[in-house]
Amino acid sequence: MTAPLNHSAPITVEVALGDRGYDIVIGRDVLASLGERVARLRPGARTMIVTDRTVAQNWLEKTEAVLSAAGVAHGRVVVGEGEASKTYAGLEQVSEALIAAKIERNDLVIALGGGVVGDLAGFAASILRRGVDFVQVPTSLLAQVDSSVGGKTGINSPQGKNLLGAFHQPVLVIADTAVLDTLSPRQFRAGYAEVAKYGALGDEAFFAWLEANHAEIVSGGPAREHAIATSCRAKAAIVARDERETGERALLNLGHTFGHALEAATGFSDRLFHGEGVAIGMVLAAEFSAERGMMPASDAKRLQQHLAQVGLPTRLQDIAGFQQEGLADADALLGLMFQDKKVKRGKLTFILMEAIGRAVIVNDVEPTPVRDFLARQLARA
């Protein structure tokens, strides 16, 4: 598997969901096409852009300009950065702004931002007038390869991650890879965890390609578009087969059962970005798999080494303030894991691994071995 030698024309990945299918348009500077695409998709529609303060500084005026150039009416609502906006209060702010703007069922909400903005705006769109269509314009690597695709929207509860939400597919995704140049190194690395996830769960050849090409992905060469497109194709294929996560779509949660618990334990704060939690969670899932005899220990080590090489945290001890807020308490972490949406009748469901490139769904995992595993991980120097 090799990347194209030069930046090429935009790549279009189709999410095949029948009459609810949509395109993911990937490439440098494709944001410039947003206005004309919206005008073709919904002639005469008005739009409301939902974004956060940081993204607004870099991209809101440009987005408004391309909409204006295409004759698309638009308004804006700007929320705070980070998971603190993905709450009841954030949902109220966005919903009331949409209602005040008289956004109707045939209009469009545009989510301009990372995963938090996409989840929040998409959920608000799903409940506004019992359903308004929306467009995803993801501005983080994590959102471009994961959260903008597949229709999962929602907010957090103080008791856990993404516990309130709805499946609501976008009608278009515009993934402009040039936008990623404004991300901090830490934000970009956090998104990279979700890229590596696709190789780890179902494509060993892609994982090997990432091991060889991660530096070019970070630097913004043609490998970046290739990595994003490959990730989107993998997710689109799974979503098309299992839109509402009744089966194999659960594989996309590799690392998330551990990771979401860690995010909750750190108060959904910038102490631990979502992708960082996923990175640690994937390593924990791999090591737990190896302990259960499902996966060679060498494969678990290979995954850990690659994520660490990229600069991601891979151990519980890598989290800022490790001794605080329940992070050093196996029972507290296990309790948070029981808020996972995949828990059934008091038993945990895990996405575990048999090898790099082969993840599996394991149901009815008893809590005691998980608690003991966490205790051993917490005791590491």
Number of residues assigned to the chain:
381
Catalytic entry in 168, 274, 306, 341: 274
What is the rounded CA–CA span in Å between residue 35 and residue 182?
Answer: 22
Catalytic residue among 42, 249, 302, 341: 249
pLDDT at 5: 44
**Residue 226 bears catalytic tag:** no
- Quick: pLDDT tens for 82-141: 999 999 999 999 999 999 999 999 999 999 999 999 999 999 999 999 999 999 999 999
**Closest to 153 in 3D by CA, of 144, 166, 140:** 166
User: Is residue 275 within 8 Å of 192, Cβ to Cβ?
Assistant: yes
64, 194, 225, 263: the active-site residue: 194
166 with 266, same domain: the answer is no
Same domain assignment for residues 166 and 233: no
For residue 153, report the phi and psi dihedrals to the nearest 5 degrees.
-130, 160
Per-residue confidence (pLDDT) for residue 158, from 0 to 100: 87
Check if 256 is active-site. yes
**What pLDDT is recorded for position 8?**
66
Amino acid at 259: G
The per-residue pLDDT for 150 is 96
Catalytic residue among 260, 302, 306, 341: 260
Q: Among the three residues 182, 213, 239, which one is the final residue of a domain in this structure?
A: 182
> Across-strand partners of 184?
none
Q: Compute the half-sphere exposure of residue 305: CA atoms within 13 Å on the CB side of its CA.
A: 11
Q: Is 186 a catalytic residue?
A: no
Q: What pLDDT sits at residue 381?
A: 61
- Tell whether 163 and 195 lie within a shared domain: no
Alpha helices, DSSP H only, in the chain?
A: 34-41, 53-55, 61-69, 88-100, 115-127, 141-142, 185-202, 204-219, 222-241, 256-265, 274-291, 297-310, 330-337, 367-378
Instruction: Give pLDDT, residue 99.
Output: 98
Catalytic residue among 245, 263, 276, 287: 245
Indicate whether 164 and 215 sit together in one domain.
Answer: no
16, 153: one domain: yes
Q: Which of 37, 253, 302, 341 is catalytic?
A: 253
Q: Residue 1's pLDDT is what?
A: 44
Tell me the C-alpha distance between 96 and 89, whole Å: 11
In angstroms, the CA 229 to CA 17 distance is 18
- Among the listed residues 224, 235, 302, 306, the single catalytic one is 235
Separation CA 311–CA 299 (nearest Å): 19
Core vs surface per residue 117-134: b (16+ CB within 10 A) or e: bbbbbbbbbbbbeeebbb
Give the model's pLDDT for residue 328. Answer: 75
Name residues of the chain where pLDDT drops below 50. Answer: 1-5
The question of whether 245 is a catalytic residue gets the answer yes
Selecting among 42, 161, 214, 256, the annotated active-site residue is 256
- 152 catalytic per annotation: yes
Distances (CA, A) of 332 to 164, 282, 326: 22, 20, 6
Which whole-number Å values give the CA distances from 68 to 38, 39, 164, in the listed order?
11, 10, 34
- Residue 243 known to be catalytic: no
For residues 121 and 215, membership in a common domain is answered with no
Can you name the residues that pair with 206 across neighbouring β-strands?
Answer: none
In a shared domain, residues 211 and 336: yes
Q: What's the order of all strands across the beta sheet hosting 172-176? A: 11-15, 22-27, 172-176, 133-138, 108-113, 47-52, 74-79
Q: Are residues 352 and 275 in the same domain?
A: yes
194 catalytic residue (yes or no): yes
| pLDDT (0 to 100) of residue 324 | 58
pLDDT of residue 6: 55
User: Within a domain: residue 6?
Assistant: no
Is 2 within a domain? no
Specify whether 282 is located in the same domain as 155.
no
Residue 130 known to be catalytic: yes
| Interatomic CA distance for residues 283 and 279, integer angstroms | 6
Domain containing residue 210: 185-378
What's the number of domains the chain is made of?
Answer: 2
Residue 110 identity (one-letter amino acid) = I
Say yes or no: 216 and 313 in one domain: yes
Task: Examine the domain organization and report whether 286 and 239 are in the same domain.
Answer: yes
CATH number at residue 144: 3.40.50.1970
Q: Which among 42, 152, 233, 302 is annotated as catalytic? A: 152
Among candidate residues 360, 362, 363, 372, the one with its CA nearest the CA of residue 345: 363
Whether residue 285 sits in one domain with residue 211: yes
